[in-house]
Amino acid sequence: MSVMARPIKPLLAAVGLLTLGACTESTAPSSWFQEAGSFLDTGSFGNATMNNIQVQNGDRNYVVDLNNRFSQDVLTTVNFAFNSAELDSDAIAILQTQANWIKQFPEVRFKVFGHTDAVGSNAYNKRLGKRRANAVVRYLVGQGISRSRLQAVVSFGENRPLIATQNRERLNRRTVTEVTGFVENHPTLLNGKYAEVIFREYVESATEMPPNAESGLAAIEGQGG
């Protein structure tokens, strides 16, 4: 038995060397074979922490950051029929998602901007844009949003079209909701909790469920329909 076992060790060693050689040539990072310190970080490490520090120091515009997130998470624009300030089913669906987002961030204030197309007089379109903005505000207030958080209602009338045309254009007949700032003197703001404001849903997701929540969920899942 001992005579037959001797060749195995050199064979295993050879296989190991071949495997190591293959890894060295094909899969090992090139930085393994460079002098210490030759690999430099490209700048991405620590960006999240740096962003929060810049916001709290006033070096970064937190309103712009919040508005960018708002526009990424929901549709900020609703459109209207010609010469109308009535909300159709598409507009209501969009405003419902806006209201759900706004409710997550009670510190945040918003403006609603009204627009029209170029058909009609400037004065009439200014009033029509205001009516459209008011319609959006009324709907959001009806969904439980405090009117005080809707900082202002602004009408640009026909002055800022998306499509440059003198004809009827639905894309120009719109309102746009934007983040404009924070509620003044809100108790949970400006005290080092910017990250908690931005990432509140992550905080809530870690909240412990009540003892009876799982049994209630199981009862719901057992129902058909």
- Summarize the confidence of residues 63-81 as an average pLDDT: 88
| Contact present, 158 and 91 (Cβ < 8 Å) | no
Count, in order, helices (H) and strands (E) of the chain.
9, 4
| Contact present, 108 and 61 (Cβ < 8 Å) | no
pLDDT: which is higher, 106 or 155: 155
For 90, half-sphere exposure in the C-beta direction (CA atoms, 13 angstrom radius) is 8
Cα dihedral 153→156→161→167 (10° resolution):
110
Question: In the predicted model, is pLDDT for residue 133 greater than 90?
Answer: yes
pLDDT: which is higher, 134 or 21: 134
- Classify domain 59-205 by CATH number: 3.30.1330.60
DSSP 6-38: TTHHHHHHHHHHHHHHHHHHHTS-GGGGS-TT-
Question: In the predicted model, is pLDDT for residue 39 greater than 50?
Answer: yes
How confident is residue 185, by pLDDT bands cut at 50, 70 and 90?
Answer: low
- Summarize the confidence of residues 139-163 as an average pLDDT: 91
**Per-residue model confidence (pLDDT) at position 69:** 86
Say which residue the tokens 């005080």 belong to.
148
Query: What is the spatial distance between Cα 111 and Cα 25, in angstroms, rounded to a whole number?
Result: 59
**Any idea which of 13-22, 109-118, 159-168, 177-186 has the lowest mean pLDDT?**
13-22
**Any idea which of 64-73, 144-153, 206-215 has the lowest mean pLDDT?**
206-215
Domain boundaries, the chain: 59-205
How confident is residue 181, by pLDDT bands cut at 50, 70 and 90?
Answer: confident
